[in-house]
């Protein structure tokens, strides 16, 4: 997304076909060990050196940090806490001084690796810079606006998976000589799940529609991400409850939904940060 929006023609031609076809996997590095929600306070630096740049520092929690063929990296090019002090760079795997570090041992989303990116006097040419020097943080916020719709859609998928599995199981599982869906306590859980899933879907379509029309959608994407991710956690939690003891085992899919869903309220900005974004927008 970052290269699509902010790369120049040469960068787009070089990277987008490979990334779009899946031949290459991309990574995006904003977060660091000590700067997550407060990403603007990053410590990873890019220093001008002749006609290129030297990167030093680490990025943490980076999806596809090991398997990624290319990474977009946000690095500080100005003084800490100064305005416009971040710039975006494209760094290819194999660039001397760029290595992948520790892989996180996660609760869920275990099929996609999350790892550290380490930059130790990593030299890159100025042609790898995206956009203007100092424009990186603004670019990152734009990328996150779109990324949040993707996380909302991911959340919706998990919520639907949990709901559909619960619906089926509740009609099949017999207790007290009847399907457990006959018990209002179970049926009402399904009603809550179905309703919240539809609301999530509408919020996601609203944000995606605005994005497709190139209209501002910071508030809408944050609302969709916040709501859909919390609903995914609620639906996955209720699904485990509906499955009873079986839900607590790896024989059924709902324990995976339960573990995977929690990432959605954290990644691409926590629910608290979404509320910060939404409240700033409504108080404008
Ligand atoms: C599996 C996974 C994949 C990820 N992939 C990527 C990736 O590809 N690229 C990338 O750059 N990052 C990635 N991240 C990082 C992710 O975006 C951060 O984890 C997230 O932004 C939260 O930052 P943090 O973990 O440092 O938590 P912190 O910022 O330390 O937050 C801790 C708690 O404090 C709360 N908090 C913080 N500030 C405030 C505030 N101002 N008001 C109220 N509450 C606040 C938070 O909501 C949270 O509850 C990934 C994370 C995970 C877990």
Residues 176-213: pLDDT tens digits? 999 999 999 999 999 999 999 999 999 999 999 999 99
Average pLDDT estimate for 14-36 = 97
Q: How far apart are CA 73 and CA 125, in angstroms?
A: 14
Q: Give me the domain span that covers residue 194.
A: 138-282
The pLDDT value given to residue 182: 98
Confidence (pLDDT) at 134: 97
Ligand 1 atom closest to the Cα of residue 31 is 11
Query: Does one domain contain both 204 and 126?
Result: no
* Residue positions annotated with a catalytic role: 268
Average pLDDT over residues 128-153: 96
Same domain flag for 237 and 206? yes
Same domain flag for 150 and 21: no
Percent of the chain with pLDDT over 90: 100
Q: What is d(CA 260, CA 159) in angstroms, rounded to the nearest whole number?
A: 11
Whole-number pLDDT of residue 35: 97
pLDDT category at 145 given cuts 50, 70, 90 is very high
The reply to whether 276 and 260 lie within a common domain is yes
128 and 163 housed in the same domain: no
Q: What is the reported pLDDT for 83?
A: 94
Kindly state whether residues 278 and 151 are assigned to the same domain.
Answer: yes
**pLDDT tens-digit series, residues 97-129:** 999 999 999 999 999 999 999 999 999 999 999
CATH of the domain at 127: 2.40.110.10
* Closest approach atom of ligand 1 to CA 104: 1
Residue 143 sits in the same domain as residue 271:
yes
What mean pLDDT value characterizes the chain?
A: 97
Q: Could you report the per-residue pLDDT of 215-267, keeping only the tens digit for each?
A: 999 999 999 999 999 999 999 999 999 999 999 999 999 999 999 999 999 99
Residue 106 sits in the same domain as residue 142: no
pLDDT in tens, 68-86: 999 999 999 999 999 999 9
pLDDT value for 133: 97
Give the per-residue pLDDT at 254. Answer: 98
Structure tokens at 113: 């690796």
What integer pLDDT is reported at residue 18 of this predicted model? 97
242/214 same-domain check: yes
CB of 114 shorter than 6 A to ligand 1: yes
Question: Which long-range contacts does 131-134 make (Cβ < 8 Å, 24+ apart)?
Answer: 131/6, 131/87, 131/88, 132/87, 133/77, 133/87, 134/77, 134/78, 134/84, 134/85, 134/86, 134/87
Is the CB–ligand 1 distance for residue 41 below 6 Å? no
The CATH number assigned to the domain holding 274 equals 1.20.140.10
How many domains does the chain divide into? 2
Are residues 128 and 254 both part of a single domain?
no
What is the average pLDDT across 253-282?
98
CB 110 within 8 A of CB 55: no
Distance from Cα 33 to the centre of ligand 1, integer Å: 10
| The domain boundary residue, chosen from 109, 132, 155 | 132
Contact residues for 195 (Cβ-Cβ < 8 A; gap 6+): none
Same domain? 26 vs 157:
no
Which of 106, 132, 158 is the endpoint of a domain?
Answer: 132
């Amino acid at each position: 997304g970052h290269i699509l929006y902010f790369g120049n023609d040469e960068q787009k031609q070089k990277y987008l076909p490979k990334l779009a076809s899946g031949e290459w996997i991309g990574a995006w590095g904003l977060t660091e060990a000590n700067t997550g929600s407060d990403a603007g306070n990053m410590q990873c630096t890019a220093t001008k050196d002749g006609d290129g740049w030297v990167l030093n520092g680490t990025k943490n929690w980076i999806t596809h940090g090991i398997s990624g063929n290319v990474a977009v990296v946000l690095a500080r090019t100005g003084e800490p806490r100064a305005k416009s002090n971040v710039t975006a760079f494209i760094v290819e795997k194999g660039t001397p001084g760029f290595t992948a570090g520790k892989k996180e041992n996660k609760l869920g989303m275990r099929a996609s690796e999350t790892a550290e990116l380490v930059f130790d006097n990593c030299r890159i040419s100025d042609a790898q810079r995206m956009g203007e020097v100092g424009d990186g943080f603004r670019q990152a916020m734009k990328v996150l606006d779109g990324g949040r719709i993707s996380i909302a859609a991911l959340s919706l998928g998990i919520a639907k998976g949990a709901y559909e599995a619960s619906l089926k199981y509740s009609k099949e599982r017999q207790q007290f000589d009847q399907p457990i869906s006959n018990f209002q306590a179970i049926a009402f859980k399904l009603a809550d799940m179905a309703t919240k899933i539809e609301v999530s879907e509408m919020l996601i379509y609203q944000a995606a529609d605005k994005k497709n029309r190139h209209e501002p959608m910071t508030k809408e994407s944050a609302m969709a991400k916040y709501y859909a991710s919390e609903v995914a956690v609620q639906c996955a939690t209720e699904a485990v409850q509906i499955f009873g003891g079986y839900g607590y085992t790896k024989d059924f899919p709902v324990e995976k939904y339960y573990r995977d869903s929690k990432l959605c309220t954290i990644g691409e900005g926590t629910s608290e940060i979404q509320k910060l974004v939404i409240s700033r927008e409504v108080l404008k």
